[in-house]
Structure 1
Amino acid sequence: MQEYFVDLHIHIGRTKTGKPVKITASKLLTLPKVIEFSKKIKGLDMIGVIDCHSPEVLEEIQDYIRDYSAEEVSGGGIRFQNGILLILGSELEIYNENCDGPFHVLTYFPTIKSMKKFSYWLSERVTNVTLSTQRVYEKSEAIQLKVKELDGLFIPAHAFTPHKGLYGKGVKKSLTEVFQLNDIDGIELGLSSDTNLVKDIAELNTVSFLSNSDAHSLEKIGREYQLIKMKQASFRELQFALHQKQGRHIVKNFGLNPRLGKYYHTCCELCFTNVQDGKVCPNCSSRRITKGVFERLQELANPNDNTGLRPPYIHHIPLEFIPKLGPKTLMKLRDRFGNDMSIIHDTNYNELREVVNDEIAKMIVLSRTGGVSISAGGAGKYGKIE
């Protein structure tokens, strides 16, 4: 068994011909750059690219295989020459009539063949199959069933955020309002929640929690991730780990302190003042209020006697969040220590001081233990390190 750093939610901004895939993502977020940056700079071992249903993205992956620069592995997934393993994924937007709004799910498939079948099925139910995160005009149960027919994984994305989250905007109380619980392979927590905040939702007692980046730019890759114990990097091993089979399991989740997320507290959308009653801003009297993840989770909580063991959730601060750590200094750190995983987890204070000043070195070390002060975010505005 080995341990692998894994981020399963990375977008593609543009194809090799310059066509948009995730319109809101950076134009630099191309497949070749994702493959290189994820391994060389971020230090990841396995990634999930969740726009692989797009025909041109699929064609690019097949070009790598035809050029012998990548290969499909027997357990599912695509291994590239630099060693990184790509899991073929697709993010979908679903809307049921009994829901308060649309919500997103992540789906993953073991082979190019199964992804092609899903892409074809999807093309008859979306407006534009070439784009990311399209509204699927199909019932939620039918979508979940199709994914399972193709041996896929089905995971609600950033499930607790107020915009496009299953619990934040979709269901009123339980995911069983729209899905079969037994066919849920994991729950993506999102930036404004963590294991401790979500642990009291009883229906999720046996569901694995995932912490992924939802990267819309290269630097956001690995913003959140997990360490997973598997025999090797493959789709099948990932599936085993999510269901804790044969010794495979998630060892640790790594993510932002939820207070750094954009939707932690209920806030006014105009002036970002914290709103206690959730209705009217006490500062500007606006009624444009976004309910925070913290408050929503208090509504959903139903404490129970099941105290099943969860992997530890480690609060870490991505290097780009460190005050006064600019791009040039970050490049020096990467040149000296290799990649972000090494800098964040392994490099000690004295080694850091060889490259950066005392203040930055201390902040990186303190971020490993949660020893930093944070002003909470809300209504779309990130929290800040003080």
Structure 2
Amino acid sequence: MKCHVDLHVHLGRSATGVPIKIAASKNLTVLNILERCMIKGIDVVGIVDGASPPILEELKKYVEEGILSLIDGGGLRYKDKVTLILGSEIEIAKEGRGSPHLICYFKNLEKISKFSHEISKYVKNINLSSQRCSLKSAEVFEIANRFEGIVIPAHVFTPFKSYYGSTTDRLSYVFKDYYQYIHALELGLSADSDMADQIEELADKTFLSNSDAHSLEKIGREFNVFDIEEANFEEILLALKRQGGRKIAKNYGLNPKLGKYHRTFCLDCGYIATEDPPIKKCLRCGSNNVVLGVKDRIMEIRDYETRHPHFRPDYVYQIPLEFVPNIGKKTIEKLLNHFGNELYALHYASYEELEKVIGPLNASNILKARNGEIEISSGGGGIYGKVTIDK
């Protein structure tokens, strides 16, 4: 079976209003996320703040009340439609030059509860998401592995809080002997497979395109199509390892130009570089006070031109409805009410189907975005890129 999978979604609050991820929307609660996944067309969601004790208690309560059910192969099922994978995003306080993020995923509530108890000895406040941890990456790996967890380096190329972006030139320097057990990594919104496959040490790794959603609307803006037997933790792990015929069949993600950190950005004059990378100073005002772009960083550390391994799936550029010109909240609501989920409207609905619901101009714009008949000005320094469609 083919499942739409987004393994990086944050919680803003618990059901009782306890803050979990300060930078995330208050509407990001467990049940709101699961309901939104059904609207979006996401079959498997990874909630990455699952080690927070208030959330663990909430999840256990939902299981007791029958709102969530336990899955034999790992994970929790909601309304027999969406699978919840339990995860914990950790910020390494000091690793090399930076403080990167990694995500640990676990099979069930028992194992992530034990991880939470152990990792709480090394973080300032286990109740909050992505708290700084006094351990090194390899040490966190050891703890996660003790409870049969999967470790995934998060948004590895972004300028802040990432491995390649701000910490090291090579993941293998950080994880050392454990690097061979890092089966997959998350690319982030400003990179794609073409860019990542310029680094030799990644040639045997599975790539994930996840949303890193900090609001309900952003769920599924990047996702993966998993080819698995069942929607559960064990099958997800097999797909990441590419074992038993399980695999990631496609990555869906933003065109990297739309990402907030694609190109180098000048903090003094606001210029986003358009020149050939790598650009390490502003070519408009001459300032060295810049945020290095993801494309520029990869060009700086790459080993060769793009070389895709034989197993690498297609990376399909997805322009979320919110990026399409003239498509506002009311138009999106019409599409969701008619088609049942956003992914169908975005990728599969015909012009005729769309035109009946939202008119010829909007239908045409969605088709042009789907087919790449657009112009994109690159993002940088925390500013998203912009889509332009000729009339």
TM-score range, shorter chain: over 0.9
Q: Aligned partners of 2:28 and 2:97: how far apart in 1?
A: 32
Q: Aligned partners of 2:360 and 2:302: how far apart in 1?
A: 42
Aligned residue number for residue 127 of structure 1: 124
Aligned residue number for residue 330 of structure 1: 332
Q: Aligned partners of 1:355 and 1:306: how far apart in 2?
A: 40
Q: Aligned partners of 2:73 and 2:134: how far apart in 1?
A: 32
Q: Aligned partners of 2:266 and 2:79: how far apart in 1?
A: 48
* SS of residue in 1 equivalent to 2:250: strand
Residue identity matched to 1:18 = G
Identify which of 350, 361, 364 aligns with 2:363: 361
Q: Aligned partners of 2:59 and 2:190: how far apart in 1?
A: 33
Q: Write out the 4+ residue segments of structure 1 that deviate beyond 6 Å after TM superposition.
A: none
* SS of residue in 1 equivalent to 2:288: coil
Deviation at 1:283, TM superposition (A): 3.7
TM, length-normalised to structure 2 = 0.94
The alignment yields a C-alpha RMSD, in angstroms, of: 1.5
Identify which of 52, 66, 72 aligns with 2:70: 72
Residue identity matched to 2:188 = G
Deviation at 1:149, TM superposition (A): 1.5
Residue identity matched to 1:12 = L
Indicate conservation of the 8 Å contact 2:224/2:251, yes or no: yes
After superposition, the Cα gap between the structure-2 partners of 1:187 and 1:68, relative to the gap in structure 1 and judged at 3 Å, is same
Aligned residue number for residue 134 of structure 2: 137
Q: Aligned partners of 1:375 and 1:67: how far apart in 2?
A: 49
Aligned residue number for residue 93 of structure 1: 91
Indicate conservation of the 8 Å contact 2:12/2:21, yes or no: yes
Residue identity matched to 1:10 = V
Deviation at 1:178, TM superposition (A): 1.1
Where do 1:263-274 residues align within 5 Å? Answer: 263-274=261-272
Q: Aligned partners of 1:32 and 1:18: how far apart in 2?
A: 13
Q: Identity of aligned pairs, percent?
A: 42
Aligned residue number for residue 109 of structure 1: 106
Aligned residue number for residue 12 of structure 2: 13
Deviation at 1:24, TM superposition (A): 0.4
Residue identity matched to 1:298 = M
Q: Does 2:210 match 1:176? A: no
Q: Aligned partners of 2:255 and 2:6: how far apart in 1?
A: 17
* SS of residue in 1 equivalent to 2:263: coil
Deviation at 1:367, TM superposition (A): 2.0
Residue identity matched to 1:151 = E
Q: Aligned partners of 1:228 and 1:271: how far apart in 2?
A: 43
Indicate conservation of the 8 Å contact 2:92/2:101, yes or no: yes
Deviation at 1:322, TM superposition (A): 1.0
Where do 1:230-245 residues align within 5 Å? Answer: 230-245=228-243
**What do residues 363-382 of structure 1 show as CA deviations (whole Å, max 9, x unaligned)?**
21122222211000111110
Indicate conservation of the 8 Å contact 1:95/1:140, yes or no: no
Aligned residue number for residue 53 of structure 1: 51
Deviation at 1:236, TM superposition (A): 0.3
Indicate conservation of the 8 Å contact 1:205/1:308, yes or no: no
* SS of residue in 2 equivalent to 1:380: coil
Residue identity matched to 2:165 = G
After superposition, the Cα gap between the structure-2 partners of 1:4 and 1:288, relative to the gap in structure 1 and judged at 3 Å, is same
Indicate conservation of the 8 Å contact 2:264/2:280, yes or no: no
Q: Aligned partners of 1:15 and 1:139: how far apart in 2?
A: 29
Identify which of 381, 385, 388 aligns with 1:379: 381
TM, length-normalised to structure 1 = 0.96
Q: Does 2:306 match 1:309? A: no
Q: Aligned partners of 1:235 and 1:209: how far apart in 2?
A: 17
Deviation at 1:280, TM superposition (A): 4.0
Q: Aligned partners of 2:92 and 2:308: how far apart in 1?
A: 31
Aligned residue number for residue 252 of structure 2: 254
Deviation at 1:145, TM superposition (A): 1.1
Aligned residue number for residue 34 of structure 1: 33
Aligned residue number for residue 214 of structure 2: 216
Residue identity matched to 1:6 = V
Deviation at 1:271, TM superposition (A): 3.4
After superposition, the Cα gap between the structure-2 partners of 1:286 and 1:357, relative to the gap in structure 1 and judged at 3 Å, is farther
Deviates more, 1:303-312 or 1:80-89: 303-312
Indicate conservation of the 8 Å contact 1:79/1:85, yes or no: yes
Residue identity matched to 1:215 = A
Identify which of 344, 348, 351 aligns with 2:350: 348
Aligned residue number for residue 25 of structure 1: 24
After superposition, the Cα gap between the structure-2 partners of 1:334 and 1:76, relative to the gap in structure 1 and judged at 3 Å, is same
* SS of residue in 2 equivalent to 1:85: strand
